[in-house]
Amino acid sequence: MMNRTNGRFGIHGGQYIPETLMNAVIELEQAYDFYKNDPAFNRELTELFNEYAGRPSRLYYAEKLTKALGGAKIYLKREDLNHTGSHKINNVLGQALLAKKMGKTRLIAETGAGQHGVATATAAALLDMECVVFMGEEDTKRQALNVYRMRLLGAEVIPVTTGTATLKDAVSEAMREWTSRIDDTHYCLGSVMGPHPFPTIVRDFQAVISREIKAQLLEKEGRLPDAVIACVGGGSNAMGSFYHFIEDKEVRLIGCEAAGRGIDTFETAATINTGRPGIFHGMKSYFCQDAYGQIAPVYSISAGLDYPGIGPEHAYLHDIGRAEYVPVTDEEAVEAFEFLSRTEGIIPAIESAHAVAHAVKIAPTMDKDKIIVITVSGRGDKDCAAIARYRGEDIYE
Amino acid sequence: MSNIRAAFQKGKAFIPFITCGDPDLETTGKIVRAAAENGADLIELGIPFSDPTAEGPVIQGANLRALAGGVTTDQIFDFVRELRQDVKIPLVFMTYANVVFSYGAEKFISTCAEVGIDGIILPDLPFEEKGEFQPICTQYDVALISLIAPTSHQRIAMIAKEAEGFLYVVSSLGVTGTRSRITTDLAAIVEAIRENTEIPCAIGFGISTPEQAGKMASISDGAIVGSAIIKLIEKYGREAAEPVGAYVREMKSAAAGKGSAALSAN
């Protein structure tokens, strides 16, 4: 074989997948290695980013939030303003365009909160591709509006009833589907996880976030931030937000995990804080699991963070101490969801609210000349009914 | 000669798959013995995993039933130790990489050797990733069994050259489960394998009828059947040993190329 590293990040990553899929991921890697350096591909993708998705996204100085917290200066990276309402579109446009170049005519995807499913359905509509989205049945209920959006965009949504009927089961089902139909189908994986080359491909397409943050902050402040904070499930918006700062050691990189009802309970999805190394969904990384390696049923109020693993590059950044991974509970996230809505008039996705919650904790402890960037990975319209129910108001979409 | 190799010396092999602990280990013991008594040449014992991504709904169900019953890797090792007092045919584990990794690869593989497991099959461990487990398997003389798929193409030679125990040839795209038709050109795959290795190859995925078993065994060295047996276990529960034994007898006969006249009549 050629000199292939199989996408290791320290001990993490790799390609733990059935033999049936090996040629598909090798073909994907070869295509990606070609197109990532192809000027025409990059022109086309940049055109889609800018004209269709609305990039670059704003880096907004949250003055009222800053004053309310009384510490570090806070900027919000507004990925919620992208077309389809989250950062997911960055990766999807890249992968869909790549799949199209590879001659694929059909996209399959997993989705948790529905944001990745909506983004994939959107790209499929735009690029004239067939689209099938696997979504845990539990999540189709929590995120009914997104199910409707996907169908409106022409995608087929398949509710997954196996296991815990959430994101992990949707990933398993999408992988099973891919093994049964490879020739015309690309699995458009939504996070920096799964077998190589997905963690690298997804990171590279999401790295536009940190590339922009860096340039925008240099223009506004003439310097780098002191901390970049993002929520982490699989970890795609966090990886995208961190990537161009990894070499800038003075920049703290903070990933906020969904602690659910707390990391001392079984109802949590905080992988780094409660998991240990394992092999699942094509990769070696940290996973919530029992003593025998059975994957744990995880819980978070956020469907998008309700996943028992984390991308392998995050696992590596944790191992080498380059990034910090902190737990944020449901209650803290809901408070931050409400707080940002009231102070800035910005309703963040409940996923992103986990990052806001941590900033609320640390900003007051930092000097006023320090700068925090929070990535608001998505908008919170989709979560309003669920948060209202959390607060005891029985409203439905 | 390895124990596994011996399993292929009595004509075409029939290899049933049974999930340990579905519905409980006592029943699994009865089913394994019934299969062995009725002509199974080698048995694949599944250690259940919470999220078996290579399995279709039938074997997924068996995994979840077994785990719901509380079965653990340690209990399964004890179970095999006990089974080995009278079951002499080769036994291999079929499970997922995390079950081995989480237990500790060296501890898992050395315990396999100690209790009398002859090989392990990990469907989520392709050629590129076997380096982590292979040296330990070699050290303890437990065969790390490789799979070849309809999509393997140019990879067949590479995999076959390093294969040990037997080669598991996946008959079709997709996950495990019974299929009415298998359309892959398996004869060509088997031919490519034989250009590169002497070790036997058996075909699995999608086989349920004696006719399919006979056909698959005729172009390879044996047939592997999982979902069709799991369905019987699902249906008969603690009484499954007898129907599974009868099924194994019929399938072994078909794989060995006997009784095809009776079969073509129905």
Residues of A within an 8 Å Cβ radius of B: 1, 4, 6, 14-24, 162-163, 168-169, 172, 175-176, 179-182, 277-282, 284, 287, 289, 291-295
Residue B232 counted as domain residue: yes
Are the C-beta atoms of A358 and A105 separated by less than 8 Å? no
ipTM of the complex as predicted: 0.95
Residue B243 counted as domain residue: yes
- For residue A338, count other CB atoms closer than 10 A to its CB: 14
Domain count, chain B: 1
**Is the pLDDT score of B264 beyond 60?**
no
What's the mean per-residue pLDDT of chain B? 94
Contacts of A292 in chain B (CB under 8 A): 72-74, 99, 102-103
pTM, full prediction: 0.96
CA distance B114 to A298: 35
Return the pLDDT at B34.
Answer: 98
Q: Between A6, A20, A181, which is nearest B170 by CB? A: A20
Q: What is the mean pLDDT of residues B202-223?
A: 96
Find the helix or strand (DSSP H, E) in which A360 lies: helix A350-362
- For residue B262, count other CB atoms closer than 10 A to its CB: 12
A382 annotated active-site: no
* Count of residues making up chain A: 397
Sheet of A276-280, strands arranged across: A8-9, A12-16, A282-287, A276-280
Find the helix or strand (DSSP H, E) in which A352 lies: helix A350-362
Active-site pick, A110, A257, A313, A332: A110
Q: Quote the minimal CA–CA distance from A334 to chain B in Å.
A: 31
Q: Between A176, A181, A292, which is nearest B102 by CB? A: A292
Residue B266 counted as domain residue: no
Q: Which of A97, A380, A203, A16 is nearest to B128 (CA)?
A: A16
Residue ranges making up the domain that contains B31: 3-256
DSSP state of A49: I
Residue B223 counted as domain residue: yes
pLDDT of B135-168, one tens digit each?
999 999 999 999 999 999 999 999 999 999 999 9
Return the pLDDT at B260.
Answer: 46
pLDDT of B224-246, one tens digit each?
999 999 999 999 999 999 999 99
pLDDT of A4-20, one tens digit each?
567 999 999 999 999 99
CA distance A303 to A179: 26
**Is the pLDDT score of A1 beyond 50?**
no
Q: Between B50, B56, B126, which is nearest A295 by CB? A: B50
Q: What is the mean pLDDT of residues B194-215?
A: 96
- For residue A247, count other CB atoms closer than 10 A to its CB: 8
* b/e sequence B114-135, b meaning 16+ C-beta within 10 Å: ebbbbbbbbbbbbbbbbebbee
Q: What is the mean pLDDT of residues B70-92?
A: 98
Higher pLDDT, residue A272 or B178: A272
Residues A182, A234, A278, A196, CA torsion sign: positive
CA distance B149 to B184: 10
pLDDT of A59-89, one tens digit each?
999 999 999 999 999 999 999 999 999 999 9
**Is the pLDDT score of B263 beyond 70?**
no
Contacts of A18 in chain B (CB under 8 A): 53-54, 123-124, 126, 147, 149, 170
What's the mean per-residue pLDDT of chain A? 96
* b/e sequence B9-39, b meaning 16+ C-beta within 10 Å: eeebbbbbbbbbbbbbbebbbbbbbbbbebb
Residue B248 counted as domain residue: yes
CATH of the domain at B60: 3.20.20.70
Return the pLDDT at A103.
Answer: 98
**Is the pLDDT score of B202 beyond 80?**
yes
Residue B53 counted as domain residue: yes
pLDDT of A187-198, one tens digit each?
999 999 999 999
Q: Which pLDDT band, with edges at 50, 70 and 90, does A164 fall under?
A: confident
By three-state DSSP, how is residue A250 classified? coil
Return the pLDDT at A3.
Answer: 42
Tokens coding B35: 């299969």
**Is the pLDDT score of B71 beyond 80?**
yes
**Is the pLDDT score of A144 beyond 90?**
no
Tokens coding A245: 């700062």
Residue B58 counted as domain residue: yes
Are the C-beta atoms of A64 and A343 separated by less than 8 Å? yes
Q: How many CB pairs under 8 A join A and B?
A: 119
DSSP A83-133: GGGBTHHHHHHHHHHHHHHTT--EEEEEESSSHHHHHHHHHHHHTT-EEEE
Q: Which pLDDT band, with edges at 50, 70 and 90, does A366 fall under?
A: very high
Q: Quote the minimal CA–CA distance from B43 to chain A in Å.
A: 21
* Count of residues making up chain B: 266
Q: Which residues are bridge partners to A111 per DSSP? A: A135
Return the pLDDT at A4.
Answer: 52
Q: Which pLDDT band, with edges at 50, 70 and 90, does A113 fall under?
A: confident
Residue B174 counted as domain residue: yes
Return the pLDDT at B265.
Answer: 36
Return the pLDDT at A233.
Answer: 95
